[in-house]
Amino acid sequence: MKIMASLMYLSLTLLLLLHITGRAAATVEEEAAAAAADRIVSLPGQPKVAFRQYSGYVTVHETAGRALFYWLTEAQSQPLSKPLVVWLNGGPGCSSVAYGASEEIGPFRINKTASGLYLNKFSWNTEVNLLFLETPAGVGFSYTNRSSDLLNTGDHRTAKDSLQFLIRWMDRFPSYKGRDVYLTGESYAGHYVPQLAREIVHYNAHSKHPIKIKGFMVGNAVTDNYHDNLGTVTYWWSHAMISDKTYRQLVNTCNFRQQKESNECESLYYYAMDQEFGNIDQYNIYAPPCNNSDGSTLAAGATTRHHMRLPHQPRRAFRPLSGYDPCTEKYAEIYYNRPDVQKAMHANTTRIPYKWTACSETLNRNWNDTDDSILPIYRELIAAGLRIWVFSGDVDSVVPVTATRYSIAQLKLHVTTPWYPWYIKNQVGGWTEVYKGLTFATVRGAGHEVPLFKPRAALQLLRSFLRGEPLPKS
C-alpha cells in the first residue's frame, strides 16, 4: 500500500509539474507573440537601419480602458548588453513621440514635407535601448475609454499608470528584466520622472521582481513652484526681456507660491509677454521663431506662470531656415496622422475620436493634481542612492537656468566638485557642479529642448551620466 501511495503521489506531482510547466511555456509563448506583434518592419520613408523597433499599446487599467502607447528603438549595436533608457516629455499633455523621439534623441528626424525620415547621427540609441512613453492616457496615441479621465488627471495617476506600464511592458519583453534602467525627460517631466522613480523604489521594496532602476536625468525641469517662478521672472529681467518697472511689479505683486495667481499678477504676465517680449521663441530666446503666414508667431504667451503650461505650443506655419528649425512640431503632426504611419506603428487601433496632436490642450487645461515641489522626492531618492543629474539649456526662458539653480540650492547639498566649464570638441559645452547625491550641468546656447539645439552636447551628457563620471574638463 505504501508503494502504491508513493506512486500515486509521484504521478500527481508529475502531473502538477507538467501543468505548471505547460502554463509557463504558454505564458512565454504569449509574451513572445505579443512582442513579435509589436515589431515595426519599417516606417514609411524610413532609411534602412540594422536595429530593431517595436511599438504598440500596454493596458494599464482594464476597468477604465486606459492604454499607453510606446515606441522602443533598440541600441544600434549589442542591444542585449545595453541598459534601457525611458524618455518622457512633459506639458503636461505633450508627446514623447513628437518631441523626444522625432526632434531630440530618437534615431530619426522628419523631413520638411513629412514625406519621410532621415537619420539623427546623435541619437541616444547609439548608446542605449530607448523607450519613448506617451503618458498619461490622452497624450499622443495613448487613450482611455473613460472620457472623464481626460478631465480629471494629474501627477498621481500619471505616476501610477507609468509604473504599471513598465511592469507589464517588461512582462512582454522579459529580456529587459534585470537590465539597468534609467529614466530621462524634460520640462514638466521634471515632475513625471522623479515621481515615477519614487514609485519604482516603493514597488521594489516589496516585489520579488524589482525593476533595476539606477538613476534619472532631467532637463529644464519644472521642480519647485516658488523658486521656479522667481527664477523665471529674474531670467526675463536679467536677459533684458522685460523692463525694470515690470520686473519690480511682478516681484511685488505676485505670490509665487500660489498655483493660481491674482488677476493683477496674471495681467502683468500677459503684459510682459504681449508688449515687452516681442516676436521671439520663448523656448530659445536667441533662435528665430516659427512665424505664421502673416509674420506673427503663435504666442507662447498662452503659457501661464504657474506651470499649468504647454511647453510646446504647436506652431502652424513655417518658412525656410538654415540650421535650427523652429517648426518641427508641424512636420510631426502631419507625419503621425498619416494612416500608413499609424498602421506601421500599430497605433490608433481603436480609432481615437480626435486627431493626433503633439500636445493635448484638454489634458493641459484640466490638470487637477500637481505637486507644489518635487524637492522632497529628490531628498528621498538621493537617500535611496539613485544617480541624479539635472541639466539646463541656458537660453530657455520657459523653465530657465535661474529657476533650476534656485530650486537646487534649496536642497543644501555638499559640493564635491566646484563649478567648472565642461568641454565638447574643444569648446565650452556649459558649466557644471557636482554635489553629494546630484550633478548639475548647464548646456551653453541650448534652449528648452537641449538635444534639439545641442545634440552632440546632449549625447555627451548621456555618456557621462551613464558612466557616473564628471563631464570632461578639457
Instruction: Assess if residue 40 is contained within a domain.
Output: no
Only one residue has cell 537656468, namely 401
User: Residue 321's pLDDT band (boundaries 50, 70, 90)?
Assistant: very low
Instruction: Assess if residue 39 is contained within a domain.
Output: no
Tens digit of each residue's pLDDT (9 = 90 or more) over 232-259: 999 999 999 999 999 999 999 998 887 6
User: Residue 324's pLDDT band (boundaries 50, 70, 90)?
Assistant: low
How far does Cα 385 stand from its chain's mean position? Answer: 22
Instruction: Assess if residue 310 is contained within a domain.
Output: no
Instruction: Assess if residue 355 is contained within a domain.
Output: no
Domain of 211, CATH number, reads 3.40.50.1820
Q: What's the pLDDT at 8?
A: 47
**Residue range 460-469: mean pLDDT, rounded:** 97
Q: What's the pLDDT at 291?
A: 62
Which stretch of 176-180, 210-214, 263-267, 375-379 has the lowest confidence by average pLDDT? 263-267
Which stretch of 299-308, 341-350, 386-395, 459-468 has the lowest confidence by average pLDDT? 299-308
Instruction: Assess if residue 59 is contained within a domain.
Output: yes
Q: Nine-digit cell at 361?
A: 490642450
Which stretch of 212-216, 316-320, 375-379 has the lowest confidence by average pLDDT? 316-320
Tens digit of each residue's pLDDT (9 = 90 or more) over 273-318: 989 999 999 999 998 877 654 444 443 333 332 333 333 333 322 2
Instruction: Assess if residue 452 is contained within a domain.
Output: yes
**Residue range 460-468: mean pLDDT, rounded:** 98
Dist CA 305 CA 397 (whole Å): 11
SS (H, E, C) the chain: CHHHHHHHHHHHHHHHHHHHHHHHHHHHHHHHHHHHHCECCCCCCCCCCCCCEEEEEEEEECCCCEEEEEEEECCCCCHHHCCEEEEECCCCCECCHHHHHHHHCCCEEECCCCCCEEECCCCHHHCCEEEEEECCCCCCCCECCCHHHHHCECHHHHHHHHHHHHHHHHHHCHHHCCCCEEEEEECCHHHHHHHHHHHHHHHHCCCCCCCCEEEEEEECCCCEHHHHHHHHHHHHHHCCCCCHHHHHHHHHHCCCCCCCCCHHHHHHHHHHHHHHHCCCECCECCCCCCECCCCCECCHHHCCCCCCCCCCCCCCCCCCCCCCCCCHHHHHHHHCCCHHHHHHCCCCCCCCCCCCCCECHHHHHCECCCCCECHHHHHHHHHCCCEEEEEEECCCCCCCHHHHHHHHHCCCCCEEEEEEEEEECCEEEEEEEEECCEEEEEECCCCCCHHHHCHHHHHHHHHHHHHCCCCCCC
pLDDT averaged over every residue in the chain: 87
Torsion of CA 23, 27, 28, 29, to 10 degrees: 100
Q: What's the pLDDT at 292?
A: 55
First-to-last alpha carbon distance for the chain, in angstroms, is 83
**Residue range 461-467: mean pLDDT, rounded:** 98
Instruction: Assess if residue 117 is contained within a domain.
Output: yes
Residues with active-site annotation: 187, 396, 448
For 297-302, the CB contacts below 8 A with 24+ separation are 299/273, 299/274, 300/273, 300/398, 301/270, 301/273, 301/274, 301/277
User: Residue 29's pLDDT band (boundaries 50, 70, 90)?
Assistant: low
Show the domain range for 156: 53-223+370-467
How many distinct structural domains can be found in the chain? 1
Q: What's the pLDDT at 47?
A: 96
Instruction: Note whether 353 and 79 are within 8 A (CB).
Output: no
Half-sphere exposure of 90 (CA within 13 A, CB side): 31
Position 353 pLDDT exceeds 70: yes
Tens digit of each residue's pLDDT (9 = 90 or more) over 67-106: 999 999 999 999 999 999 999 999 999 999 999 999 999 9
User: Residue 12's pLDDT band (boundaries 50, 70, 90)?
Assistant: very low
* Amino acid present at 288: P
Instruction: Note whether 154 and 368 are within 8 A (CB).
Output: yes
Instruction: Assess if residue 202 is contained within a domain.
Output: yes
**Residue range 208-220: mean pLDDT, rounded:** 96
**C-alpha pair distances (Å), 455 with each of 7, 41, 153, 185, 452:** 68, 27, 33, 15, 6
Dist CA 133 CA 142 (whole Å): 9
